[in-house]
Amino acid sequence: MTNEDLIAIGFRPMEHFTIANSVTFPLGRNRHLSAGCIGTPNEILWICEVSPDNDRKITDTICLHNWDYDKELKIEKVQGLINLLK
């Protein structure tokens, strides 16, 4: 899977540089999914809550997928999480 695959299902590239080349998917209620390092052994997927006063300030995160424990992230898992969390 690549960032382009995630963008095809609604993820958005970050407006600024991140080391992880992150993309995000808005979930509403000040939450989004954030995916980084897609297609590498550093691959990770988070659900993040942002401040209602500043959408660039993340106030809470929960790791949903980490390559070290879960290995390769599949598009089906991402789509299932989107359906569950929306």
3-state secondary structure of 14: coil
Angle, vertex CA 67, rays to CA 30 and CA 72, nearest 5 = 100
Question: What mean pLDDT is predicted for residues 37-48?
Answer: 96
Structural domain count, the chain: 1
Give residue 22's domain range.
Answer: 3-85
Q: What is the mean pLDDT of the chain?
A: 94
Query: Quick one: pLDDT band at residue 66, thresholds 50, 70, 90?
Result: very high
Distance of CA 49 to CAs 30, 52, 74, Å? 6, 9, 23
Residue with tokens 């540089």: 17
Prediction pTM value? 0.90
3-state secondary structure of 44: strand
